[in-house]
Structure 1
Amino acid sequence: MLKGTKLYSIFTGTCPVCQNESMYTSPNMYNPKKTQEMHERCSHCDTKYKIEPSFFYGAMYVSYGVGVALAIATFVISNYIFKLGRLNIFFAIMAIMILGLPVIIRLSRNIWINLFMSYDKEKAE
């Protein structure tokens, strides 16, 4: 349904150009050694993922925004829905940030690469 959109590529971690293959070597993002490990190129459309050396350093800026959004969402849910105290809200935010770190890393990389590449219907076929 969403295939062909940037949202599809961002949330699935697929190639931003053809959206047929995962950019990551391991589907398990909670494996610390393989969280950031990516293929060099897409085997379907031959797109090179690292456009230049240190390309994904820019994803650090995106990860800051994603992390802040996740912390704010945790605060709102903890405070207004569960009505927790300040210390418990703090612990909830820390737990979510630590457990969500691999998700934040991959999501920020996916967002960053999708800022520079777009879906190409011809390469997808």
Structure 2
Amino acid sequence: MLKKGTKLYSILTGSCPKCQQESMYTYKNPYNLGNTLKINEHCSKCNTKYRLEPSFFYGAMYVSYAVGIAFAVAAFVISNLIFKTNLNSSFIVIVAILVVFMPIIMRLSRNIWINLFIHYDPSLTKK
């Protein structure tokens, strides 16, 4: 169960890392492809600024690599070990999974990155 106040809650929901009361993203649907990465300038509840510095989210590219590898490994394990596909079919499954889940991977990476620098403040939820 995801509890407010945990990093995991903020990462998986895309909520403000400081107060966790609203989404960082302008559009909730990550598959709205033209707007997948559009984030608000700041949180309307606690006024936390999301872009800490210019090009802040470039660091999320490194996180995205690790998250993409995790998705690829999971796709390989499921396709090859559970469904007993051959290596060529497993490769196709991996590529398909990465393409289909790319908007989610990009958002998860940004969520992880910002949560490394901004921490939850429980006093903000009592206001």
TM category (shorter chain) comes to over 0.9
Q: Which deviates more from structure 2 when the two are superposed, residues 85-94 or residues 106-115?
A: 85-94
Shift of 1:122: 1.1
Q: Is the 8 A contact 1:17 1:45 kept in 2?
A: yes
Indicate the residue corresponding to 2:101 in structure 1.
100
1:1-125 to 2 correspondence within 5 Å? 1-125=2-126
Runs of 4+ in 1 over 3 A off after TM superposition: none
RMSD: 0.7
Q: Deviations over 1:64-92 (max 9, x none)?
A: 00000110111111111000011110110
- TM-score, with length taken from structure 1: 0.98
Structure 1: 5+ residue stretches without partners: none
Number of residue pairs matched by the alignment = 125
Q: Is the 8 A contact 1:17 1:124 kept in 2?
A: no
Partner amino acid for 2:18?
Answer: V
Q: Return the alpha-carbon distance in structure 2 between the equivalents of residues 73 and 24 of structure 1.
A: 27
Shift of 1:2: 1.2
Structure 2: 5+ residue stretches without partners: none
Give the secondary-structure state (helix, strand or coil) at the position aligned to 1:53. Answer: coil
Q: Identity of counterpart residues, as a percentage?
A: 60
Give the secondary-structure state (helix, strand or coil) at the position aligned to 2:85. Answer: coil
